[in-house]
A and B are shown apart, each in its own frame.
Chain A
Amino acid sequence: MNKSEYLNKLTNELGHMPYGDVKDIIQSMEEHFDEGVSEGRSEEEIAASLGDPAELATEFKDGAKFKQVMKRRKLSDNFKGPDGRSRIFVILFNIFVGVECWLILLAAIFAAFMCLAGDAALIGLIVAGLITGVLTEFLVPFIFLILTLVCVAIFLIVLLILGIKYYAKGLKGYIRWNKNVWNYGLGEE
């Protein structure tokens, strides 16, 4: 596969990404090909070293940057075989630290969700009490209590939206880091 064939295939595979990102990636790939050719390598050799365009596109879609992908390609070219120590590190780190931390964060998100449900239930009960006339003796304090609970609910909703978003983002990055350490050892991004 020569340069233009490889780039066409890669462009097709990157189809669902924003146009600006695709343009940047293709431009960087072109520069990579040009650098390789100036070093005396053929376009076919460079294309082969980059691997399958579909796999490359998947890495870009997962949010990897051009430099990271190229570094990984270089590492896999020089890869001598799996390092036992890094794999033991990944296993022990996950058993004693990693999994616990992610579970605690998940529990915190779940707790926030339960607090929100309790908050909504309390608002419902107070409103029902006010409508039926059970709580009319303390009308003003209960109205203020409802307003307080509504504010707490808004705060919890914001906390949950941001929490879930960054939990997913963080977990994705953590899994990627684990994969890198598993495959290439510590100290490699």
Chain B
Amino acid sequence: MSKKDIKLLITGAIALFLACFLGIITIVLFAFKLGNKAMEYDWKGAFGNVTEQVQSLGD
């Protein structure tokens, strides 16, 4: 293996490490954002509508 190949290999290894590191950060950031959105969402209202619809179907 030449020196050039070893340099390339090291570059690849660093890129792989960074990809894993940044990938984890990305997943955490998405989880936070989506979690916030879920907290802000009007679940009661949405399920209230569904309950009303089901009740009207029963009547």
Contact = CB atoms under 8 A, between A and B. Distances in A.
Q: Are A and B associated in one complex? A: yes
A145 interface: yes
Contacts of A147: 18, 22
A155 B15 contact: yes
A31 B5 CA distance: 35
Interface stretch (A59-67, A95-103, A157-165): A157-165
B26 A148 contact: yes
B50 interface: no
Given A138-B33, A141-B29, A141-B30, A154 B12 contact: yes
Interface string A94-134: 00000000000000000000000000000000000000000
B18 A151 contact: yes
A138 B33 CA distance: 7
Given A158-B8, A159-B12, A140 B19 contact: no
A19 interface: no
B8 A161 contact: yes
A152 interface: yes
30 contacts: A138-B30, A138-B33, A140-B29, A140-B33, A141-B26, A141-B29, A141-B30, A144-B22, A144-B26, A147-B22, A148-B22, A148-B23, A151-B15, A151-B19, A151-B22, A152-B15, A152-B19, A154-B11, A154-B12, A155-B12, A155-B15, A155-B16, A158-B8, A158-B9, A158-B12, A158-B15, A162-B5, A162-B8, A162-B12, A165-B5
